[in-house]
């Protein structure tokens, strides 16, 4: 199959920042390359300047998922090009680099730099991180998103995937703006803003960053609804994600209108979850009794409401 020009062996990829392929290669050696769990690898977010990330604690576990306040720690553009890119280029699958800037100029710099690299199959524009000090989320506003895509579209011929936030009034409006201004695909959902209090210090946030992003099974229903709403508005491919733990969950997102499914939080529990889910997915139509036609009804309901 094909995601806007990127060849994929199956429809399961990773959600940015949820699988450290460089650390996994150190732990599992070349066995990781022989059994790589995803059809493409999406890198953790890269910014122009190096970042330490947010103060600890950075994670809080929930009954059905977790809240992260990681805060984009990364080596910056130069460090990524020097150290991470050569290692990630050895993976046996296409590499999609996730980039984020605090201004359009920064995003343009990142897109230009990665657009020139043969190792990079495509770019994901992260306009949806909930964990930045400014609280600014470019992707919360259709006009901001349109202006960003306008600014960077001419800078590369590589596929541009815009990663949408669920923390806004209408992700479908933002998706439509991204498509109208030249995005090749959209991905959703990034995490939902959430917080947790310290168990022994009432009123004090647990996370060093104060608030964080909720992921895992807790957000699955939100992801399904938002993917269906976005599908009703755009024709470009959708990478759907949010709480996928099984082939059935992936299947549901595909029925809601996704073309490709990303696995995130589940990979922390099981690093081979992506491969397992890809296999489970192939088994579903044969043994579930669900036909595509039956479940496509959900898209029609959403399209009717939109
Ligand atoms: O690094 C993070 O804190 C982070 C990012 Br960039 C993102 O896009 N989503 C998220 O939940 N955490």
CA dist., res. 208 & res. 189, Å (int): 23
The pLDDT of residue 286: 58
**Phi/psi of residue 164, nearest 5 degrees:** -90, 155
The Å distance, Cα 164 to ligand 1 centre, comes to 12
Instruction: Of 101-105, 218-222, 256-260, give the lowest mean pLDDT range.
Output: 101-105
Q: Does 4 participate in catalysis according to the annotation?
A: no
Of 18, 51, 66, 68, which is best to mutate to test ligand 1, by the most ligand atoms within 8 angstroms of its C-beta?
68
Average pLDDT of the chain to the nearest whole number: 93
Per-residue confidence (pLDDT) for residue 131, from 0 to 100: 77
Q: 242-246, 286-290, 293-297: lowest mean pLDDT where? A: 293-297
Could you tell me if residue 273 is left (phi over 0), alpha (psi between -120 and 50 degrees) or otherwise beta?
A: alpha
Residue located nearest, by CA, to atom 8 of ligand 1: 129
pLDDT tens, residue by residue, 47-70: 999 999 999 999 999 999 999 999
Structure tokens at 93: 């699958």
Whether residue 37 contacts residue 18, with contact meaning beta carbons closer than 8 Å, is answered with no
CA of 237 to the centre of ligand 1 (A): 22
How sure is the predictor about 132, in pLDDT bands with cuts at 50, 70 and 90? confident
Q: What percent of the chain has pLDDT over 70?
A: 92
Average pLDDT over residues 34-49: 97
Q: Is the pLDDT of residue 129 over 90?
A: no
pLDDT at residue 134, as a whole number: 67
Residue 292 has what pLDDT?
43
Q: Under 8 Å CB-to-CB from 263, ≥6 apart: which residues?
A: 12, 13, 14, 15, 18, 38, 241, 244, 250, 273, 274, 277
Which has more confidence, 305 or 285? 285
Q: Among residues 4, 129, 168, 298, which one is catalytic?
A: 129
pLDDT in tens, 141-158: 999 999 999 999 999 999
- Percentage of residues in the chain having pLDDT higher than 90: 89
Q: What is the 3-state secondary structure (H, E, C) of the chain?
A: CEECCEECCCCEEECCCCCCHHHHHHHHCCHHHHCCCCCCEECCCECCCCECCCCCCCEEEECCEEEECCCCCECHHHHHHHHHHHHHCCCCCCEEEEECCCCHHHHHHHHHHHHCCCCCCEEEEECCCCCCCCCCCHHHCHHHHHHHHHHHHHHCCCCEEEECCCCCCCHHHHHHHHHHCCCCEEEECCCEEECCECCCCCCCECCCCCCEEEECHHHHHHHHHHHHHHHCCCCCCEEEECCCCCHHHHHHHHHHCCCEEEECCHHHHCCCHHHHHHHHHHHHHHHHCCCHHHHCHHHHHHHHHC
Q: Is 204 a residue whose pLDDT tops 90?
A: yes
Q: Does pLDDT of 283 surpass 80?
A: yes
Atom of ligand 1 minimally distant from the CA of 71: 3
């Amino acid at each position: 199959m094909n995601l806007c020009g990127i060849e994929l062996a199956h429809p399961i990829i990773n959600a940015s920042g949820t699988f450290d392929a460089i650390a996994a290669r150190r732990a599992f050696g070349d066995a990781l390359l022989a059994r790589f769990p995803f059809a493409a690898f999406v890198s953790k977010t890269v910014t122009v300047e190096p970042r330490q990330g947010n103060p600890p604690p950075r994670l809080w576990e929930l009954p059905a998922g977790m809240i992260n306040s990681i805060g984009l720690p990364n080596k910056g553009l130069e460090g990524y090009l020097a150290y991470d890119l050569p290692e990630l280029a050895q993976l046996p699958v296409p590499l999609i680099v996730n980039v984020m800037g605090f201004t359009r100029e920064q995003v343009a710099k990142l897109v230009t730099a990665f657009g020139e690299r043969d190792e990079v199959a495509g770019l994901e524009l992260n306009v949806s991180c909930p964990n930045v000090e400014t609280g600014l989320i470019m992707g919360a506003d259709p006009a901001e998103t349109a202006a960003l895509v306008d600014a960077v579209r001419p800078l590369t011929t590589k596929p541009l995937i815009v990663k949408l936030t669920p923390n806004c009034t209408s992700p479908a409006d933002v998706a439509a703006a991204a498509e109208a201004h030249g995005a090749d695909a959209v991905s959703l959902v990034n995490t939902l803003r959430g917080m947790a209090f310290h168990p022994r210090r009432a009123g004090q946030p647990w996370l060093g960053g104060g608030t964080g992003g909720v992921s895992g099974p807790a957000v699955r229903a939100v992801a399904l609804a938002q993917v269906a709403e976005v599908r009703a508005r755009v024709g470009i491919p959708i990478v759907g994600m949010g709480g996928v733990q099984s082939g059935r969950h992936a299947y549901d997102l595909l029925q809601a209108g996704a073309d490709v499914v990303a696995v995130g939080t589940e990979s922390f529990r099981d690093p081979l979850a992506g491969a397992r889910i890809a296999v489970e997915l192939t088994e579903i139509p044969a043994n579930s009794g669900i036909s595509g036609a039956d479940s496509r009804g959900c898209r029609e309901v959403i399209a009717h409401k939109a």
